[in-house]
Amino acid sequence: MNPTSSPTQAAIAMMARLVTIKSVAPHHFQLSLLAPAMASRALAGQFVHVLPRAADTSDPFLRRAFSIMAMRGEEIDILFRVEGRGTRQLSLLRAGDNVDVIGPLGRPFDVSPFHVKQPPLPLLVGGGVGVPPLLCLAGALRARQITPLALIGARTSNEVLGATELASMDVRTRLATDDGSVGHHGRVTDLLEHTLHELPPEASAVVYACGPYPMLRAVAQIAARHRTLCQVSLEENMPCGIGVCNGCVVAMKQEQNKDDYGRYRRICLEGPALWAHEIEWGER
């Protein structure tokens, strides 16, 4: 795929009816929007840009980005954690409210490694609210008869996201929690290290990861050490979400192609899914 071509050509701006909003874990909400044209064209790894407020108010002013967790018929699901003002306002919306949303935006996960007779094992590595886009990817892979292995990390057992959805798709899942309340006591990156170490020499894998930046940097390092392809979905603040403000750029190791942005890529447009070995990972 040409990295400068715009996947946002197919994006739609609309008022979507909020169908359901429910608490799925402490401070975490799942929200379904009635958005038929978006649901029919969205791909795993894309996101929606939402004004997190009731239609008759103007605060907060800026949109927030949320990964698409699932497309179900005419609906799009997102899952978010209440972090600050934007997500708090979003959690206060109710079924029947109209939500101003643009999407689907961004470049989806690149699944070209699976266009072969003997596809590699997809390893889905999610931390916290990085899990939703991986659920969408798991669904897309299962639709192609490919079974991933999911490695899910959370702070504690009741913040583990996606385990039910993954089980319903028959996706094997390994868990890690910071406090050891369920699964491995430690980081999800420990699970990745073990899993890649255990792979038989003739087997190959491709890692897809989403989560906090330090986790993604560690995932990229582990994948590189094991000579395993790795794609990450980055989550930066996105003022415009459509490639015009340059507020979301990330530095790449070298120029990927000759355009006005040189070594930089706009996460909203050329991402959020990017190949980890091309990113200039920094301190954050």
Ligand X SMILES: Cc1cc2nc3c(=O)[nH]c(=O)nc-3n(C[C@H](O)[C@H](O)[C@H](O)COP(=O)(O)OP(=O)(O)OC[C@H]3O[C@@H](n4cnc5c(N)ncnc54)[C@H](O)[C@@H]3O)c2cc1C
The correct pick among 11, 18, 65, 269 for binding ligand X (CB under 6 A) is: 65
Q: Which 236-275 positions form the footprint of ligand X (CB under 6 A)?
A: 236-239, 247, 272
- The CA R_g of the chain, rounded to the nearest whole Å, is 18
Residue count of the chain: 284
What does DSSP say about strands 28-34 and 12-25: parallel, antiparallel, or unpaired? antiparallel
Q: Is 132 in the site for ligand X (CB under 6 A)?
A: yes
End-to-end Cα distance, the chain: 30
CA 19 from chain centre, in angstroms, equals 22
Q: Which 17-56 positions form the footprint of ligand X (CB under 6 A)?
A: 47
The token pair at 43 is 């791909």
The correct pick among 38, 129, 163, 175 for binding ligand X (CB under 6 A) is: 129
User: Least distance from C-beta 232 to ligand X, angstroms?
Assistant: 11
From residue 242, give the alpha-carbon distance in Å to each of 93, 136, 137.
25, 22, 22
Give the E-state strand segments of 87-244 in sequence order. 98-105, 121-127, 149-154, 172-177, 184-185, 205-210, 229-233
Q: How many CB atoms lie within 10 A of CB 18?
A: 18
User: For ligand FES, which is the closer residue by CB, 60 or 120?
Assistant: 60
Q: Is 86 in the site for ligand X (CB under 6 A)?
A: yes
Written as one letter, the residue type at 85 is R
Contact between 276 and 231 (Cβ < 8 Å): yes
User: Least distance from C-beta 11 to ligand X, angstroms?
Assistant: 13
Instruction: Reduce the DSSP state of residue 128 to 3 states and report it.
Output: helix
Burial class (CB in 10 A: 0-12, 13-18, 19+), 103: buried
The correct pick among 62, 121, 146, 229 for binding ligand X (CB under 6 A) is: 62
Q: Which does 246 bind (CB under 5 to 8 A by kind): ligand FES, ligand X, none?
A: ligand FES
User: For ligand FES, which is the closer residue by CB, 26 or 262?
Assistant: 262
Q: Is 59 in the site for ligand X (CB under 6 A)?
A: no
User: Least distance from C-beta 194 to ligand X, angstroms?
Assistant: 26
User: Least distance from C-beta 213 to ligand FES, angstroms?
Assistant: 16
Angle 91-42-261 (CA atoms, 0-180°, nearest 5)? 95
User: Least distance from C-beta 229 to ligand X, angstroms?
Assistant: 21
Q: Which residue ranges make up the site for ligand FES (CB under 6 A)?
A: 238-241, 243-248, 266, 268
Q: Cα(17)–Cα(30) distance, rounded to whole angstroms?
A: 14
Peptide bond just before 113 cis, omega within 30 deg: no
Q: Which stretch binds ligand X (CB under 6 A): 84-92, 161-169, 178-186, 215-223?
A: 84-92
CA 119 from chain centre, in angstroms, equals 22
CB nearest ligand X: which residue? 84
User: For ligand X, which is the closer residue by CB, 53 or 174?
Assistant: 53
User: For ligand X, which is the closer residue by CB, 80 or 281?
Assistant: 80
Q: Is 280 in the site for ligand X (CB under 6 A)?
A: no
Q: Which does 262 bind (CB under 5 to 8 A by kind): ligand FES, ligand X, none?
A: none
Give contact residues for ligand X (rule: CB under 6 A). Answer: 47, 62-67, 78-81, 83-87, 129, 132, 235-239, 247, 272
